Structure formats: structure tokens, C-alpha cells
């Protein structure tokens, strides 16, 4: 009788151990799935933030970027940016100067009359350049004659500032999740 009870307890402990192990394993994998989901972000919340000129104010993405015809033409059209790798999207937002999209460099243009214009190229013909003046609060586009240009020097820094300290981690993940839907 004593022997039997002893075995009963051992088996009981064994069953309990397996059960607890399984429960721990399940809860760990559920929290892992949750963490992955959190990192993946919520595209609907990201879309809202992208167009949020209230919350982000002048910093809102839509003030500079167009998506499917909506927004501004300061930076590149992002309607298909979701085809680019997710690491690139993240870097574009937190470290914009790491890679400047060709054609979107800030050009420092020295004119023959001594004036300089810093801006983004927004058009070109044989004789003229259209430059969005980034020192003008209204970002007006000026037309300058090519034969009046002394020199053009592309600048290393992006006109887009880093959002690293502006967006919280989950906001950043949400915006990236939204950009990934733009295929």
C-alpha cells in the first residue's frame, strides 16, 4: 500500500510537470506571436498617421509625399514603395540621409551673379531648371536659366529629417506596415 502510494505521487508529479511545461511553452509561444505582431504594426493606424496633419502637424508625411494621387510632390511618390525591402523603409524614415533617392538631392546652385539657391530639382528643359527653393517657407518653385549657373553641388543631407525621435516605436512600426501595403 505504501509502495503504491509512493508511485502514485511520483506519477502525479510527473504528470503535473509535463502539464506545467506544456503550459509554459504555450504561453511563451503566444507571447512570441504577440511580440511579432506588435513589431509588424497596424497598417490602418499607420495610414492614419501618414495623413495626420493634426497630430504630426507640418511633419506629416503627406505634406511631402504623394500616395495614389493624394499629397504633395516635395519627396518621391510613395504609391509603390511597398515593393522595397522593409529594412530600407525603416532606414528611410529614421536615417533619411543614409541613402538619397536619385533626383531628390538638395542642390546648392551658385549663379553667375553671386546668388545661391538651395533646392530640389522639379523639372528641366534644354535651357531651364525648375528648382523648389527649400529656404522659402512656401517652397516656391523658381525657374532659372541654365546659362546663368556657375556651379551645382549636390548636398549629402536629405531634405527629409529623421523621424527617429519624433515617432514612438509602435508608430514607426505602424507606418512601415502601411507603406508595405503600397505595392
Cell (9 digits) for 128: 531651364
Pairwise CA distance, residues 16 & 168, whole Å: 43
Query: Which residues make Cβ contacts (< 8 Å) with residue 159, sequence separation at least 6?
Result: 74, 75, 104, 106, 120, 134
Q: Does 82 bind ligand HEC (CB under 6 A)?
A: no
Query: At 79, is the secondary structure helix, strand, or coil?
Result: coil
Pairwise CA distance, residues 169 & 166, whole Å: 10
Pairwise CA distance, residues 144 & 140, whole Å: 13
Terminal C-alpha separation, the chain: 72
Figure out which of the listed residues 129, 159, 173, 174 binds ligand HEC, where binding follows CB under 6 A: 159
Query: Which residues make Cβ contacts (< 8 Å) with residue 145, sequence separation at least 6?
Result: 127, 128
Q: Does 43 bind ligand HEC (CB under 6 A)?
A: no
On whether the CB atoms of residues 162 and 96 are closer than 8 A, the answer is: yes
Q: Does 158 bind ligand HEC (CB under 6 A)?
A: yes
Q: Which span sits near ligand HEC by CB under 6 A: 22-30, 74-82, 109-117, 147-155?
A: 74-82
Q: Which is nearer to ligand HEC, 76 or 118 (CB)?
A: 76
Q: Which is nearer to ligand HEC, 79 or 142 (CB)?
A: 79
Q: Which span sits near ligand HEC by CB under 6 A: 12-20, 37-45, 58-66, 147-155?
A: 58-66
Q: Does 163 bind ligand HEC (CB under 6 A)?
A: yes
Q: Which span sits near ligand HEC by CB under 6 A: 8-16, 28-36, 110-118, 157-165?
A: 157-165
Applying CB under 6 A, which residues contact ligand HEC? Answer: 59, 61, 63-65, 74-76, 78, 81, 84, 89, 92-93, 96, 100-101, 104, 158-160, 163, 175, 179
Amino acid at each position: 500500500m505504501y509502495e503504491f502510494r509512493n508511485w502514485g505521487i511520483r506519477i502525479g508529479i510527473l504528470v503535473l510537470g509535463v502539464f506545467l511545461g506544456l503550459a509554459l511553452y504555450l504561453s511563451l509561444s503566444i507571447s512570441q506571436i504577440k511580440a511579432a505582431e506588435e513589431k509588424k504594426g497596424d497598417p490602418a493606424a499607420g495610414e492614419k498617421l501618414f495623413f495626420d496633419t493634426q497630430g504630426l502637424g507640418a511633419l506629416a508625411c503627406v505634406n511631402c509625399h504623394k500616395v495614389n494621387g493624394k499629397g504633395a510632390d516635395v519627396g518621391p511618390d510613395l504609391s509603390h514603395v511597398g515593393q522595397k525591402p522593409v529594412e530600407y523603409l525603416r532606414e528611410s524614415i529614421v536615417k533619411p540621409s543614409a541613402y538619397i533617392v536619385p533626383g531628390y538631392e538638395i542642390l546648392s546652385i551658385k549663379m553667375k551673379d553671386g546668388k545661391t539657391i538651395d533646392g530640389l530639382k522639379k523639372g528641366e528643359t534644354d535651357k531651364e531648371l525648375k528648382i523648389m527653393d527649400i529656404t522659402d517657407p512656401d517652397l516656391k518653385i523658381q525657374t532659372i536659366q541654365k546659362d546663368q549657373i556657375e556651379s551645382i553641388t549636390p548636398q549629402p543631407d536629405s531634405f527629409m529629417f529623421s523621424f527617429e525621435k519624433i515617432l514612438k516605436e509602435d508608430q514607426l512600426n505602424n507606418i512601415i506596415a502601411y507603406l508595405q501595403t503600397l505595392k
